[in-house]
Chain A
Amino acid sequence: MKDQGAPPEASVQVSSKSVEDRRLRLVNRTMQLYRNEAHALIETLHAVQESFGYLEEDVLKYVARTLRVPLSRVYAVATFYHSFSLKPPGEHTCVICMGTACYIGGSGAILDALREGEGIVSGETTSDGKVSLLVARCLGSCGLAPAGVFDGEVTGKLDSEHVLERIGRWRGHEH
């Protein structure tokens, strides 16, 4: 099951030039807003991540050229901050909160269950490219501990069964 499907990179590389241009529009707008000044780097990387889903190497080079920042610094900033990812994300994203309240509430056990059930740990994508698993430091939804985010939708009071069931549905198999 897990070995089926194309590797996630493939779908991004085949994107045609016109699609690329449309995705660059938000990036260009952000840089222009800051008059292409170097201090716009982090804001620009946010824009890249928003429209591309991750930080593509070619786009990073383009950003470095436009803002006149050494590529080494772009790479340093891109890897320093946890929000940025150099790998393309899966079709769906599951974020499990590992803030103190969620940890005390048992989010560690949920991650263990995901490792055993789906074979992924934080930062990884399932081999069929369907689901990426991320860990958040604190969603600030401590009142709902343990909490998680499924494709942008915050859900509270999670347990392992519920999470496995949701991920199973995304991957198209039942548990």
Chain B
Amino acid sequence: MNIEDLHQIARIEKSKQEGFQHQIHVCVAAGCLSCGSGQLKEALEKEIARRGLDTWCRVKGVGCLGLCTAGPLLSLETAGIFYQGVKVSDVSDILEALGGAPVERLICPVNSAFFRRQVRIVLENCGRIDPERIEEYMAESGYGGLALAVSQMSPTEVIEEVSRSGLRGRGGAGFPTGLKWTSVAKASGLTKFVICNADEGDPGAFMDRSVLESDPHRVIEGMAIAGYATGASQGYIYVRAEYPLAVKRVRLALFQAERMGVLGNNIFNTSFSFNIKVRLGAGAFVCGEETALIASIEGRMGRPRPRPPFPAEFGLWEHPTLINNVETFANVPPLIRKGGRWFAGLGTEKSKGTKVFALAGKIMNTGLIEVPMGTSLRDIVFDIGGGIPRGKEFKAVQTGGPSGGCIPGQFLDMPVDYDSLAKVGSIMGSGGMIVMDESSCMVDVARFFMEFCMSESCGKCAPCRVGTRQIYDILCRITGNLSGPDDLAMLEDLCDLMKSTSLCGLGQSAPNPVLTTLRYFRDDYLSHIHDKRCLAGACKAAREVA
């Protein structure tokens, strides 16, 4: 394959698509599939064939359309119409309305804030292309970034472009990507590896899954560009076994990419060679930590080890290794195509580009969104998210999963970027955003996350192994109204101890949900301790059990 071939495939695919007057896109990502979009797609195909419309109308399975709460969703690309909550019985109405007035009762308002306020870079192809066909990705300039990088740029120039963009790691910690790539490129050794961390373990986060299900080639292209820039020729995608559809689509995408020659030897007739293998996780949250992830790929228990040495020098099988998150890699192809300066034009001073969030919890519009960094929490929750259902009162928004914190209403006007979130005691995390209303007890929420960290602690270091258990026990006592007067002080001491002495990120950040709820929702704790009463009325069950 050379660059001419790539353009040729894109041209053929484009003209093929233009041959259809109507294209019906049916969301076949996990959310809509579980509301029956698979049967819907089949019914549409059958009915179109029966009516003999198949020469000018086509049904296409696409990735996530975003508004998961209104599934199954479908979109009519040419007319710019979205239909929501579509059932098999709606099929004939939809087909009859093609070209005429749309079916009123199914219309999903596309001019609402949910769609209007988004800026899509990572998700630009989500819901527009068929994730199971490489040609469609190529028709949207796919693999153009890789072609440009290997044929016209030196590895150093690629890294410079990434540094110029200001892209920071989307896995949560926000380490500058250009800096990471530089240290792997500079590390000595002939064998190097690139790993894509798709072990999305945060409960309440489904961004990476959606990207892999909706646009897997984007991640593959990003990894290949990273391989070229750092001098690696082998990549691994470490993906959760709990995401069977994502695994299937990534495997298919790899097969297609190899067959087309955009992976393998002498990519685009250069001396650059790159291959990718899939490795399945096996249900261990701690494997999202990079050294634990490496241990897991090596076939061992996923336990972290002290750093330094960092994986950039001493990683997979003791070779220099670059580890980035799915979303980080997904940002790379457009960044190379359009230039680092373009990317840096979006976002805030220290957090560039956009961020994908998974909005869930007590919110009207549950789903997947992508907004520029620096968008305020209020805009995300009340404008894009549509506010809290059933007239309830907003209480908190939780970001960063078990490593993050609960942010109260007083910070709603804060811009969402790495540094602002850190200032209030939370973290960006991978992008899960759970909204809670007045019916949630924050002590119970803290207990929920601590239970998670306790069972996911790998047990290697004592502060985390013992600390999570002790904090969990205290929180159980508090929610069960059995706590004593010293428990709060003990809780604070333990959190402080764990934060400063745990070996890896899991233990160091596990106290965050407790610390932020102690700081902003102290009344919830005090009411349980002194009045033996749950302010939110959520902890009845806990008292009965205790």
Contact = CB atoms under 8 A, between A and B. Distances in A.
A38 B300 CA distance: 9
Given A43-B279, A138-B202, A101 B30 contact: no
A46 B241 contact: yes
Interface in A118-175: 136-145, 147, 153-156
A83, A84, A140, A153, most chain B CB atoms within 10 A: A140
B35, B243, B541, most chain A CB atoms within 10 A: B35
Interface stretch (B172-180, B203-211, B219-227): B203-211
Interface in A53-84: 69, 73, 76-77, 80-84
A83 B283 CA distance: 5
B34 A155 contact: yes
A26 interface: no
A141 B244 CA distance: 13
A84 B285 CA distance: 14
B401 A140 contact: no
A41 B281 CA distance: 12
Given A45-B282, A82-B282, A76 B31 contact: no
Nearest to A152: B244
Interface in A16-71: 38-43, 45-46, 69
B448 A103 contact: yes
B241 A104 contact: no
Interface string A80-114: 11111000000000000011110111001100100
A69 B298 CA distance: 12
B434 interface: yes
B457 to A, nearest CB: 12
Contact of A38 (B34, B284, B299): B299
A84 to B, nearest CB: 6
B367 interface: yes
B377 interface: no
A98 B203 contact: yes
Interface stretch (B13-21, B92-100, B357-365): B357-365
B264 interface: no
Interface string B185-215: 0000000000000001111111001000000
Contacts of B297: 39
A78 to B, nearest CB: 9
Contact of B31 (A39, A98, A141): A141
Interface residues of A, number: 42
B347 interface: no
Interface of A: 38-43, 45-46, 69, 73, 76-77, 80-84, 98-101, 103-105, 108-109, 112, 136-145, 147, 153-156
Given A82-B282, A108-B541, A39 B204 contact: no
Contact of A138 (B71, B203, B301, B440): B203
A101 B432 CA distance: 10
15 contacts: A42-B279, A43-B279, A77-B300, A80-B301, A80-B458, A82-B282, A100-B434, A104-B362, A109-B541, A137-B283, A137-B452, A138-B205, A140-B206, A142-B204, A153-B34
B34 A147 contact: yes
Given A104-B434, A138-B201, A138-B242, 15 more contacts: A40-B299, A80-B301, A81-B302, A83-B241, A83-B281, A98-B203, A100-B203, A100-B398, A100-B434, A100-B448, A101-B361, A112-B541, A140-B30, A154-B34, A156-B31
Contact of B33 (A43, A46, A136, A154): A154
B84 interface: no
A104 B361 contact: yes
* Interface range for B: 35 or more
Contacts of A143: 31, 68-69, 71, 360, 366-367
B68, B282, B362, most chain A CB atoms within 10 A: B282
A74 B434 CA distance: 38
Contacts of B448: 100, 103
B436 interface: yes
A129 B401 CA distance: 35
B296 A142 contact: no
B242 A139 contact: yes
Contacts of B401: 100
B242, B448, B456, most chain A CB atoms within 10 A: B242
A77 B242 contact: no
A77 to B, nearest CB: 6
B148 interface: no
Contact of B284 (A81, A112, A138): A81
Interface in B402-432: 432
A156 B204 contact: no
Given A104-B361, A108-B541, A156-B35, A141 B30 contact: yes
Given A136-B242, A143-B366, A144-B31, A46 B203 contact: no
Nearest to A76: B301
A107 B369 CA distance: 25
